[in-house]
Amino acid sequence: MALWKSVGLWTVCVVLCLLGKISGLDNGLALTPPMGWLAWERFRCNTDCKNDPDNCISDRLFRTMTDILVSEGYAAAGYEYINVDDCWPERERDARGRLVPDRERFPYGMKSLADYVHSKGLKFGIYEDYGNFTCAGYPGVVGHLSGDAATFAAWGVDYVKLDGCYALPADMDFGYPEFGRQLNLTNRQMVYSCSWPVYQIYAGIQPNFSSIIEHCNLWRNFDDIQDSWASVESIIDYYGNHQDVIVPNAGPGHWNDPDMLIIGNFGLSYEQSKTQFAIWAILAAPLLMSVDLRTIRPEYKAILQNRKIIDVDQDPLGIQGRRIYKHRGIEIWSRPILPIQGQYYSYAVAFVNRRTDGTPSDVAVTLRELGLNNPAGYRVEDLYEDVDYGVLSPQTKIKVKVNPSGSVVILRADAQPSFAFNSIPTRTPYSPLNDVFRLTKK
């Protein structure tokens, strides 16, 4: 069903053109990928609070997760958003056309919940849909863009995820920017998470990423993640196979979103969980956990709170990494990060073994073959094993042993300073199409 008549779409287009710069997001948020907790993958649309009060989508669930985020060290590690997903409102708007939280499951209202989250030093996110309905059949924002934006601002929302069910993908080029403009007009800063490109890709429409970057803080490119290694593999493959298109769109304030972290649920082994976290960090991905923090096992909690890998994900340069090698089940992924020494970036490098032949694989490569050419060398550290290998030269051959069935070894190689440069180099634009990430002198 069309969201607006053609005249309405034309009017929105004219308004956006006249507004010029104000139509852009320009909210100064998400300069590093957002981190937090999101309900959907783990708790889905469980609304049966009578028979399953501990796991239903309710005020109680989100307050509990808020408390755990603080008490169990997640907030201290950088996770700051508590995000409600689908199935939170009543099936009908009120007489004034406003969204209403489910009166039984959220008896105190969303402002009360947001205030509680804020009182713990965290931020509050909510879900809606650019369509007539959300994916689960609750009211969408169509016909209520300005009113819903104002409602979210009044509730103290800090993050809005806008899905794309029950909408025409062709209309999203106008609708998503318009809702973002309405969020801006509230004068409350809200991170804006879009599902705009993924619905257009499925419809055979080439997304206008220049516009998406301008209007969204993050966006989905591919399928919803499911609780399985096969799902994680499909996302890794998609991002690797389409990296020439995907990678250039990422940067401070605007991120590709490969979807939630499912670490600590049921579908991933311990080794596969380490791989998801490492590759998401290489991809400069939002780190949005969707797991029951009440029951997560300590070894999975340790993955999610690995500060060294979080530092890779949150690197201020905001350059998304790339797959630089793939052969017979072995992959190497590399991301340029700070510090920069002279002409040269530092790197995070992940070695992934997707073979299933039951024995670890040795991967041997020189730093130079990875594109690490700093003559002063690199201090190399294993980010899961906490092993410091000292300063290695570009000619050094490193050998890592990677377990099978989706395991990873992730290294950090910090470029070392050199006093051989007689002048200060200036940075040239980073080209994501090159395997070697470095700076050059003018």
**224 has catalytic annotation:** yes
How far apart CA 16 and CA 22 sit, in angstroms, is: 9
Two tokens, residue 46: 């469980």
Residue with tokens 């950088």: 78
How far apart CA 368 and CA 374 sit, in angstroms, is: 9
How far apart CA 439 and CA 345 sit, in angstroms, is: 7
Catalytic, out of 67, 115, 223, 224: 224
State yes or no: cis peptide before 339, omega within 30 of 0: yes
How far apart CA 37 and CA 155 sit, in angstroms, is: 19
CA distances from 433 to 25, 221, 244, 282, 324 (A): 27, 19, 6, 16, 10
- The residues facing 344 across adjacent strands are 341, 438
The 10 Å CB-count burial string (b at 16+, else e) for 89-106 is bbeebeeeeebbbbeebb
121 HSE (CA, 13 A, CB side): 11
Is residue 392 within 8 A of residue 401, CB to CB? The reply is: no
How far apart CA 392 and CA 1 sit, in angstroms, is: 60
**163 has catalytic annotation:** yes
DSSP letter for each residue of 248-291 = GG-BTTBEEE---B-TTSSS--HHHHHHHHHHHHHTT--EEE-S
How far apart CA 12 and CA 200 sit, in angstroms, is: 19
Catalytic, out of 86, 163, 171, 414: 163
CA distances from 276 to 214, 300, 409 (A): 28, 12, 12
392 HSE (CA, 13 A, CB side): 22
Active site residues: 163, 224
